[in-house]
Amino acid sequence: MTLCNKTISFITTCLVVCSGHLFAQNHSYPIVDTGVKTYYSDKDIITEPQKGEAFFGQDAQYIGHEPSYTNNHDGIITDNVTGLVWAKAMDEKMTYEEAFKTAKASTLGGYSDWRVPTIKELYSLIIFTGQLSRHKGNNELFIDTKYFKQPLGDTSKGEREIDAQTWSATKYTGTTMRNASTVFGVNFIDGRIKGYPIFNRRKNKDNKLYVRLVRGNTLYGVNNFVNNHDGTITDQATGLMWQQADDGIARNWEEALSYAENASIADHTDWRLPNAKELQSIVDYTRSPQTTNSPAIDPLFETSEINYPSGSGGHFPHFWTSTTHLDGRNPYSSAVYVAFGEGLGKMHDKVMDVHGAGCQRSDPKSGNPKLYPQYQGPQGDIRYVFNHVRLVRDMALGDNSHGN
């Protein structure tokens, strides 16, 4: 059977094909697809590239578990892929502490087991068909608005439209900016994960963000890694196999795609560049350079070190994904990365961790290596352009992990 004449990705030990959707069974942490069906170069929309052509291997060429929801018509939305059950709407913005009190007190739909979602649970809702527009009111949101109510920032109160961030329950193990205690959240207006300080020093009060309550599948987001002792790591929770050690080479996006599609590791030749949600699935949010002197990933994995912009070593790289991030003057020119080291920015002429290890942002797909890194925006976000790669493949029928 062929779906949309594309490669069917993420073959699990048991699949049911129904109405064009792939539903995972036997995996506690199925990764929901990004929803991307369009093909991009480093500058424009293109026709579907073929094997061996430039930009082959990007997100749209691999179909994963496509998003599938059921509206229960009681203010509750069920995710048919993950088993998570979500509140359709969000109340007014609230502090991090208030978010937990709200979850504990909620009886939405007659249930009393609501919780604040972890960052991996919350990120399961993101889709990358969204686009951040430079024109007010023209944003395409990074969440399915047919099922979920997603407010914008209140411009009448001086907020930007993107000031509609959502708390997760996941605290950053380090600190950001000026030693600020920080919590990860997702911005479904601009399509990013960032660490948000709990306390706003400028306003001298606690920050307030939105919260979307969740219940069900408490195993979602919990990895189950197996070392195959052949240079690969299998996550039995997601059904994905990973390259254990990156090769230490920084590449632009086109080069990263080509490297992935031509790789041969442990007798497998079906490696690819992971999409944004797949790569984020292996972030370990209990680890960070500040607290464990390591990248934010399980120590079974090996990660190259790179120099800090100041020239000192001991920093960890950004890693490319196959997913285009539609933002900026040319919306086709950037792709998503996940930072397993600190999410750096330059503020007050000092480079510091402003987003947290485990943040998800985007970089230009191409550029002159002599001109980077650069810094952009009010928090001086670092832009590398030449990022690292950790390959992934799908555990197909008959594949067995043989490690301990």
The DSSP secondary structure of 89-140, one letter per residue, reads S--S-B-HHHHHHHHHH--GGG----BPPPHHHHHTT--TT-B--SSTT-PB
What pLDDT, on the 0 to 100 scale, is given for residue 313? 67
* pLDDT of 21 higher than 80: no
* pLDDT of 107 higher than 90: yes
* 3 state DSSP class of 291: helix
What pLDDT, on the 0 to 100 scale, is given for residue 178? 85
Q: How far apart are the C-alpha atoms of 344 and 174, rounded to whole Å?
A: 13
Predicted confidence band of residue 4 (pLDDT cuts 50, 70, 90): very low
Classify strands 62-63 and 7-8 as parallel, antiparallel or unpaired.
Answer: parallel
Query: How many percent of the chain have pLDDT more than 90?
Result: 83
Nearest Cα to Cα of residue 24 among 390, 395, 298: 395
Phi/psi of residue 174, nearest 5 degrees: -100, -160
The third-level CATH classification (topology) of the domain covering 70-215 is: Mannose-Binding Protein A; Chain A (3.10.100)
Average pLDDT over residues 349-368: 96
What pLDDT, on the 0 to 100 scale, is given for residue 14? 36
What pLDDT, on the 0 to 100 scale, is given for residue 400? 55
Which residues are CB-contacts of 158 (< 8 A; sequence separation ≥ 6)?
none
Phi/psi of residue 195, nearest 5 degrees: -85, 130
* pLDDT of 73 higher than 50: yes
Average pLDDT over residues 37-48: 98
Element (H, E) at 257: helix 253-261
Measure the CA angle with vertex 100, ends 344 and 82; round to 5°.
Answer: 75
Ranges in the chain annotated CATH 3.10.100: 70-215
How do residues 186-220 score in pLDDT, each as one tens digit? 999 999 999 999 999 888 999 999 999 999 999 99
What's the whole-number average pLDDT of the chain? 91
Q: Report the predicted TM-score, pTM, of the whole model to 2 decimal places.
A: 0.92
What pLDDT, on the 0 to 100 scale, is given for residue 366? 97
Predicted confidence band of residue 2 (pLDDT cuts 50, 70, 90): very low
How do residues 168-189 score in pLDDT, each as one tens digit? 999 999 999 989 999 999 999 9
What pLDDT, on the 0 to 100 scale, is given for residue 16? 36
Average pLDDT over residues 30-34: 98
User: By CB neighbour count within 10 A (0-12 exposed, 13-18 middle, 19+ buried), where does 219 fall?
Assistant: exposed
376 CB-side CA count, 13 A? 11
* pLDDT of 266 higher than 70: yes
How do residues 128-159 score in pLDDT, each as one tens digit? 999 988 776 678 999 999 999 999 999 999 99
> Token pair for residue 159?
């907020």
Average pLDDT over residues 267-291: 97
Sign of CA dihedral 116, 85, 356, 222: positive
Which residues are CB-contacts of 204 (< 8 A; sequence separation ≥ 6)?
none
How do residues 222-254 score in pLDDT, each as one tens digit? 999 999 999 999 999 999 999 999 999 999 999
Q: How far apart are the C-alpha atoms of 355 and 371, rounded to whole Å?
A: 23
What pLDDT, on the 0 to 100 scale, is given for residue 13? 33
* pLDDT of 9 higher than 60: no
Predicted confidence band of residue 12 (pLDDT cuts 50, 70, 90): very low
Query: 186 pairs with which residues across the strands?
Result: 166, 193
How far is residue 174 from each of residues 30, 135, 195, 294, 301, measured CA to CA in Å? 28, 35, 10, 12, 20
